[in-house]
Amino acid sequence: MNLGFSILIILGTITIYFLAKKFYKRFPFPFFVPIATSTCFIVGILLLTNNSYSQYMQGGKYIELLLGPAVVAMAFPLYEHRNTLKRHAFAIVASVMSGALIGLLSGIYLSLWLEVDEKLIRSLAPKSVTSPVAMDISSLVHGIPSLAAVYVMIAGISGVVFGPSLLRLVGIKDPIAVGIGYGAAAHGVGMAKALEIGNQQGAISSISMILSAVFASIFGPIIIGLIL
């Protein structure tokens, strides 16, 4: 692929996401969150133009490179709310650990109940952590890393689509609880959603996502090995 095509992919992706954000502001329906609508739109364009994911990534890889600096930038709101983190350290750690265990066990047992293929279960189990960690865990337990990344994306989008309604339904408004929920259940996508709500929610969501990855890396292989 030439440089012009890569630039077109980058500009096209940015434009689509920008338009998706404008659309969401105009119609703030849960299913219209930008990450979901822009992803569906890009997939639709690739299918219509008969382009593969690998072709798209000729330009998309440059956008992906910005994920690292974006995550590092989250250190600033963490620093801003460091006193809050210190005050609620035990509650945050305990809640995230519980969330990580529930995420692993619910995915495995629901899949067993539905008689899902074991290989798919090993790929699905680490769905609630960020993609690189989920892929490593899946590989470690003899799953399919690329499929694990797909499940992570589905979990993240589902979290930001249904999360606000579920939190309202159960009456959860505390910024710390909201941040933990998004970070533990919807990883990076959830963290972006939490940041939309407020800096404190975003900071808590960030540390929640990090701790979820740590706990899933420790307990995931053990739990999968014991159950499967």
**How far is Cα 187 from Cα 179, in angstroms, rounded to an integer?**
11
Q: What is this structure's pTM?
A: 0.77
pLDDT of res. 93? 92
Sorted by sequence, the CB contacts under 8 Å of residue 167 that are 6+ apart come out as 173, 178, 181
Sorted by sequence, the CB contacts under 8 Å of residue 117 that are 6+ apart come out as none
pLDDT of res. 71? 66
Q: Which helix (H) or strand (E) holds 130?
A: none
Give long-range contacts, CB 8 A cutoff, 24+ apart: 72-75.
74/191, 74/202, 74/203, 74/206
Q: Do the beta carbons of residue 92 and residue 180 sit within 8 Å? A: yes
Tens-digit pLDDT string for the chain (228 aa): 577 888 888 899 999 999 998 998 888 777 787 877 888 899 899 899 888 878 888 888 888 777 767 767 767 777 788 888 888 899 999 999 998 899 889 888 988 998 888 888 888 888 888 777 888 888 888 888 878 888 888 888 888 888 888 898 999 989 999 999 998 888 878 887 888 888 888 888 888 888 888 898 899 889 988 888
Closest listed residue to residue 203, CA positions, set 58, 66, 92: 92
pLDDT of res. 57? 83
Backbone angles phi, psi at 171, to 5 degrees: 75, 25
- The domain segmentation of the chain, as residue ranges, is 3-65, 73-227
pLDDT of res. 18? 92
pLDDT of res. 120? 87
pLDDT of res. 33? 79
